[in-house]
Copies of this chain bind each other. A is one copy, B any other.
């Protein structure tokens, strides 16, 4: 990365992404407000457009349909806001992050987000879900290396814990627990 990418050049011409980014922010904000005010089923593209101050065709052109817009908003909410908390050990960091992830995904709003993401007619948002997880587990692994610990490959954590946790949330009659996370980590870490 060099200065040119850090400091956008100010010219007289249109700034790429300027209007586009404002439209996205206004539409996402409108969806979040309408979700907070009324039932999910009452939310329509014209209602979102009116609230965001754009035309419905702007929304259709950019997002395709309501399900794709809802998935886009949902996955934006999932975007992690910072590095996972540092508890002083690899196992501690993984445990805390996984427990928070379980808590978030299995909550009412988390399940609604997952429904929006998995019910949408494109798969790009499910990829972003996995990407965010991978980023966080990578960060936990890098911190462990800096401490002199030996972290697992991120893929092993995804396969050995995240996939079981998500399958349990989506398909099992009872939500996985923190004890399940501990048991899966034991198996993975060979404890």
Q: Do B171 and A126 touch across chains, with their CB atoms under 8 A apart?
A: yes
Q: Count of chain A residues with Cβ under 8 Å from any Cβ of B?
A: 29
Chain B nearest CB: distance from A177 CB in Å? 14
Count this chain's copies in the assembly.
2
Interface positions, chain A 60-88, Cβ under 8 Å from B, are: 65, 67
Known: A115-B120, A118-B118, A119-B119. 20 other contacts (CB 8 A): A41-B65, A41-B121, A67-B119, A111-B123, A114-B118, A115-B119, A115-B121, A116-B119, A118-B170, A119-B120, A127-B171, A129-B171, A130-B171, A130-B173, A159-B164, A159-B167, A163-B164, A163-B167, A167-B167, A170-B170
**Which 4 A-B pairs rank lowest in CB-CB distance, beginning with the nearest?**
A119-B119, A163-B167, A118-B118, A130-B171
